[in-house]
Amino acid sequence: MSRVNRIGLGLVLIGMNSIPTQGSWIEIVVWFILAVGWFLFIYEKGD
Amino acid sequence: MPDGLTHRKYHKRWQFPVFAVSTVVFGIIAMSLAVSENLYQAAYVLEFWFWINVWYSLGSVIDPDLDLLGVSKSEGEILKRYGVLGVFIFAYSSLYAASMHYIAMKLKVKGLFGAHRSWLTHSPIGTLIRVLFVNAPLAYLYQIVSVGLLAFDIRFEFSNLDLLVFFAAQLVGLGIADGIHVYLDSRE
């Protein structure tokens, strides 16, 4: 697992801990953190 | 005939464009909703965006070629990546392949080696069938966990709207991945 993947995993874990706050700006930010975190988590360099 | 490696290469190549385009589209929709005080709806739009990207990336292993009897490239990847869990997933995906093979025989669907590359597996119908196949054990697991946690006074449940968003995003995310797969197959 590369450094980028580890940062992504960290973001996903942080995001998952904050999901229950519904209908607030925090939830909006959390979904951004989760999506970006997921993308970094599965990112692989090159073909 | 593109092999599993070619499909994986193209799937990976499209990961960033799918993420970037969906970020722009759903980001704009969500932000416009959020600014007009509709935070609840904005959150659901972003939830949809998140699950689309998750399911698109899982589309590299939950792909139309799971209809092949034997070990496909994606099944080899599952066995390599997920250890003991991969063995169970492989057994389950083999059940899918065998079921598709059987249904193709019964319905007289023409494909390669049975159901392979037929409309039964390489079409939106195939995507829907795979989504149902994936969701069956997930729903069972969700039921067990939510009932089990009740014993400890912990409520673990999702609203119907959350489940609907999850299901819709699953169809779209896997649909995009399958669309790329079928397009590559059709070029040959």
- How many Cβ atoms are within 10 Å of B6's Cβ, its own excluded? 14
Residue among B12, B43, B46 minimizing CB distance to A22: B43
What B73-80 contacts at long range (C-beta under 8 Å, 24+ apart), as own/partner pairs, is B73/B3, B73/B4, B73/B5, B73/B7, B73/B8, B74/B4, B74/B8, B76/B4, B77/B8
Each residue of B85-140: pLDDT tens digit? Answer: 889 988 998 999 999 989 888 888 787 777 788 888 889 999 999 999 999 999 99
Q: Do A24 and B46 touch (CB under 8 A)?
A: no
- How many Cβ atoms are within 10 Å of B63's Cβ, its own excluded? 26
Q: pTM of the entire structure?
A: 0.89
Considering only CB atoms, which chain B residues are within 8 Å of A16?
A: none
Residue among B34, B42, B50 minimizing CB distance to A35: B50
Residue B38: pLDDT over 80? yes
Instruction: Name the strand (E) or helix (H) holding B49.
Output: helix B39-58
For B158, phi then psi, to 5°, come to -115, 150
CA–CA distance, A23 with B115 (Å, rounded to integer): 45
Tell me, yes or no, if A20 comes closer than 8 A to chain B by beta carbon.
no
Rounded to two decimals, the ipTM of the complex is 0.87
